[in-house]
Amino acid sequence: MTQQEQGQWQDQIKWSDDGLVPAVVQDALSKEVLMLAYMNKESLQKSLESGQTWFWSRSRGELWNKGATSGHTQQIESLHYDCDGDTLLVKVRQNGPACHTGAYSCFYREGTSKTAEAAAQQEDRFGPLSRLETTIAQRDAERPEGAYTTYLFEKGIDKILKKVGEETAEVIIAAKNRDGDELRCESADLIFHLMVLLREQGIPFDDVLKELEFRHRKPVKKD
């Protein structure tokens, strides 16, 4: 994007009287909302130039680069503004937890929640996969001691690939033995480890769904 193009869309932003605009930060992989902060024109420009998030601290009255001290930086994937031009959405690759408390997201406290039955009625069939992706992202960011997912991320790509291979073999064996219960369980294990692998590789699960949708819509060639 050229400086002229940047200037054109920045002119669409409706800054508050004190020169600020709220910026919602979202994990580009899991789609989880991570935090809300504020930008002024200078912090927005520094964010665009550096590829990392910069904000304006209202309490300290100064610019701050997210993660500069903790190392939990945010690499910007894309930046959007809403229909009214008064709110920004920043999609990022989050390194470590986003919250100063050590939580993956600043929005970890619930005000209200649906009952499990009500949530299940409104949830689509891919809801469990979406929740699993969020949980994996949380484990990656927070690395809680004793968690199996933490163990996988800390061991690294070779261990994750080994587990994907092992679970693939278990699926094959269960299918060969025509053991439906075992096949169901091993398939769940394989999907879990595949999603850990996708997170390690920085690929959103949505990209896999988009690829499936693309293949479904692709016209069939006739001989």
Assess whether 38 and 83 both reside in one domain: yes
Residue 155 lies in a domain: yes
Assess whether 128 and 88 both reside in one domain: no
Report the CATH number at residue 186: 1.10.287.1080
Q: How many domains does the chain have?
A: 2
What pLDDT shows up at residue 206? 85
In this structure, are residues 36 and 18 in contact, taking their beta carbons and an 8 Å threshold?
Answer: no
From 42, 59, 94, the end of a domain falls on: 94
Phi, psi for 134 (deg, rounded to 5) = -65, -45
Q: Is the pTM of this model over 0.85?
A: no
Assess whether 89 and 124 both reside in one domain: no
Strand partners, 49: none
Assess whether 46 and 132 both reside in one domain: no
SS3 220: coil
Question: Cα torsion for 40, 44, 50, 52, to the nearest 10°?
Answer: 90
Residue 114 lies in a domain: no
Residue 194 lies in a domain: yes
Residue 169 lies in a domain: yes
Handedness of CA 52, 58, 59, 60 (dihedral sign): positive
Assess whether 125 and 86 both reside in one domain: no
Assess whether 211 and 167 both reside in one domain: yes
What pLDDT shows up at residue 69? 86
What pLDDT shows up at residue 217? 78
Q: Are strands 21-27 and 88-94 parallel, antiparallel or unpaired?
A: parallel
Provide the domain limits for residue 176: 119-217
Residue 107 lies in a domain: no
Q: Which residue in this structure is represented by tokens 């929005």?
A: 107
Q: What is the mean pLDDT of each run of 10 residues along the chain (223 residues)?
A: 62 92 94 95 95 94 91 93 95 91 88 58 70 92 95 98 98 96 97 97 88 79 60
Assess whether 85 and 141 both reside in one domain: no
Residue 13 lies in a domain: yes
Residue 106 lies in a domain: no
Assess whether 76 and 137 both reside in one domain: no
What pLDDT shows up at residue 122? 47
Handedness of CA 217, 192, 71, 86 (dihedral sign): positive
Residue 99 lies in a domain: no
Report the CATH number at residue 88: 3.10.20.810
